[in-house]
Each structure stands twice: as C-alpha cells, then as structure tokens.
Amino acid sequence: MKKVVIVIVVVLLNLNAFAAKDNADKYDRLKIFARVMAIVENGYVDNVSSTELIDDAIKGMVSSLDPHSSYLTKDDVKELNVETTGKFGGLGIEVTLKDGVLTVVAPIEDTPAYKAGIKAQDVILKVDGKSTLGMTLQDAVKIMRGKPGTKIHLTIVREGAKKPIEIDITRAIIHVKSVKFKKYGDVGYIKILKFQDKTAKEVKKALSKLKNIKGLVIDLRNDPGGLLKAAIGVSDLFIKDGVIVSIRGRNKKDAQYFYAHNDKNEPTYPIVVLINSGTASASEIVAGCLKDNKRAIIMGIKSFGKGSVQSVISLPDGSALRLTTAKYYTPSGKSIQAIGIEPDIVVKQAKLEEEDNDKYRVREKDLAHHLLVEKIKKKYGKDKDKNKNEDEDKKLKDDYQLLRAVDLVKALIKAEDTVCIKQK
C-alpha cells in the first residue's frame, strides 16, 4: 500500500513539474512578444500604435489555426450580423482559404458575381491588381466589399483554363432571397440559396404552396451554407425521427446531438437532392441528413466538404473571436470536414445539344399551307399558358442536372403508383 501511495505522489509531483515548466515556457514566450512589440514601436520606420500591433498579432495567431477561425473587430461583428440577415453590400460570393489560397466556395445566385460568371472552386489570385496570397480571410472579404455601384477587378485562376481570367464586377447591395420554388408538372422544385434565420419557415411556406405535388427536387447546388439552426429546421421538415446532425469537439462529453420531431405532417413523396462542389456547410448537413436517413436520393457531384463549427465568442470591447470549436457529423457518424457528401447518383453538368440531323427533318410547319399559329391565336386568343410552359421547359433542358433529377422523381412517382395499383 505504501508503494502505491509513493508512486501516486511521484506522478503528481512530475505532473506539477510539467505544468510548471509549461507555464514557465508560456511566460518566457510572452516576455519575448512584449520585447518584440517594444522594439517595433520604438524602432520601426513608421509610427505604429500598440493597439494596432496587438490586434494584428491576435489576427495572426487565430488565422494560423485554420481557414475559418478569425479575430473580428467591432466593424467585422457588425458586418457578420448584417450578412446573416440577408442584406449586405458586395459581390455575392462565399470564399474560404483552401491550402492558403483564396477560393470561391460558391457564387450566390442572382448576384453580381453569379452574373459575371464566377464559379465554385475558382481561385481569386488578385483583387484590383493586389495579390491575395498571405491575406487573412477577413481582410479578403473586407477588400471585396464596398460601396454599391463601384467596380472591382478580379484575377481568377480556374481549373482547365490555360491562363488567368480577368473579370470586372460592379458591387451591389446583396439581397439574398433564401428560397425559390416552382412546379414541373407533378414535381415540386425548391431551391435554397443560403441558410438564414427564416429559411426553414420559407421552405415550409413553399411546400404549402406547392399543392398536389407527388415528388420533390431540393436544389442545394452552390449553396454556401449559413446558420446551423436553419439547416436543422429544414431537415426536420422531411424526417419524422432520428438524428439530424451531431457536433463533436475536443471533449467527447461535450458532443451535441440534434434530433428530428414528428409533426405528423412530414411529406412522404419521393425526394431528390441536387448537390455540387459549391454545396457547403449547412447545405451539406441537410444533404447528409436526408441521405443517411434514407429520405432522399442525392444526385450531382461531391460537395465542398466544409464540416467545421465556428463559435462566435464576444469580447469585452465589442470585438469577437470566431473560433472553430467542433466538427459536424452526419447521422451515420461520418465527418463532413474535407470529405464532403458523396452523391448516390453522379451526374455532371452538361448541355443538351440538338442533333445536327434534327434541323433537316421535315415537320408540320415545313409543309405547304400548314395551319398558322397566328390564325389560331386570332380565333381562340393567345395561348399564354403554353408559352409559359415552353419557357419553363427550355430552362429545364438548359440545366442537365435538374432535368435528370426531375426525370428521376417522375420515375419514382411512377414506380410508387405501380405498386399501389398492384396492391389494390
């Protein structure tokens, strides 16, 4: 018994010694930091304040941890709050630092960047001729935002392009409409552009307006993510029970699990979810949840792989620390970080081209004395619905991935109807 006590005492003494040494090393490094700061303040060619030096030192320390951790000044905190509400000035792109270079996660639909042709995975090499190499993510975002109506010049490196692409974009107030929806016959279509405060409510509202649909396509392509609670809320609309997502940090005991609630009105029709390399963060949570719970078929190409959790910790002076504190895991326990969501069915984007021989085929309109559409319109009035449907069909054919998703949902509806007939 005495030997056991002696061993425990020795171990504790050793641990204390290690802790004391660690603290001593820490204070030695802090002394060096203070010494360096004093030398810079007194000897640097230009006058710099101690506040600037300390702020920059904190930025450097935090940004060296990972691409998503950052120190936020008071102004940065204001911008972050504005961004999550869905109205802010800028270009309309979500960016990250990937392997140390400024990379586009996704352009937000209907924004200046989207219209200018910016694509997911584009590398922003220069902004107005200034290199982005070595920039922090926060500084890069700040330099790209500006007064609406002002122009910005981006130098883009794109995979497959032989040389850098030069793009001019005019800044604008970015109004991010979180949800869009429409119908393709019996198939409903919901596009989520970004996960914001009211996204789950907007999706629920869209579902109520998509009456009498027998299947649904949820489009998460180029959705850079957003709020965790919004992703949980959207997922909860489609599953009755089970895990939606889990968050695990350094300590296993701090793991959080988020579960679905049975509202007894969850849709039962077939669902296809579209994803691509611009599908990130919150949108990956939804895709992973519906896939693992076997509630939807995932179609497209592998997602971005941004599966880390950032907590915003307020500091006494109004600034804040955005710190990576955990990682997201899908219901089956798979990490999203740097891996992404694999689609069940891989469909790359393509464009359907009319066959060359098709233009030589003879149709009704090519026959002599064929009945003119104009005469029909004069007699019976304009067929507005037909024109509208033709426009929608053209849009659908121009989006190969969406066309395949709608086709798959229709096939699933047909399969279910066939089963019901057989059972009867």
Interval 151-181: pLDDT, tens? 999 999 999 999 999 999 999 988 778 999 9
User: What are the catalytic residues?
Assistant: 281, 292, 306
Residue 305 lies in a domain: yes
154: left (phi over 0), alpha (psi -120 to 50) or beta: beta
Tell whether the model's pLDDT for residue 370 goes beyond 90. Answer: no
Residues 184 and 302 in one domain: yes
Tell me the whole-structure pTM to 2 decimals. 0.76
Residue 406: inside a domain: no
Q: What is the pLDDT of residues 130-143, one digit of tens each?
A: 999 988 887 888 88
The first and second tokens of residue 339, run together, are: 């891996």
CA 19 to CA 260: how far, in whole Å?
A: 44
Residue 417 has φ and ψ, to the nearest 5°, of -60, -40
Instruction: Tell whether the model's pLDDT for residue 10 goes beyond 60.
Output: no
3 pLDDT above the threshold of 50: no
CB within 8 Å of 162: residues ≥ 6 apart: none
- Domain limits for position 94: 87-175
Q: Provide the domain count of the chain.
A: 3
Q: Which of 309, 329, 346 is the last residue of a domain?
A: 346
Residue 70 domain-assigned? no
Asked if residue 9 is part of any domain, the answer here is: no
Mean pLDDT of 107-128: 93
Q: Please tell me the distance from the alpha carbon of residue 201 to that of residue 375, in angstroms, as a whole number.
A: 47
Q: What is the CATH number of the domain that holds 107?
A: 2.30.42.10
210, with CB counted inside 10 A (0-12, 13-18, 19+), is middle
**pLDDT tens digits for 310-350?**
889 999 999 999 999 999 999 999 999 989 999 999 999 88
Q: Give the distance between the most distant pair of CA atoms in the chain.
A: 113
User: Do the Cβ atoms of 298 and 217 come closer than 8 Å?
Assistant: no
Same domain, 110 and 221: no
- pLDDT the model gives residue 77: 86
Query: What distance, in Å, lies between the first and last C-alpha atoms of the chain?
Result: 78
Is 156 part of any domain? yes
Q: Which two tokens stand for residue 73?
A: 């000044």
Q: Which residue type, as a one-letter code, is found at position 269?
A: Y
Pairing of strands 297-300, 320-329: unpaired
Please give the Cα distance from 144 to 152 (Å, whole number): 7
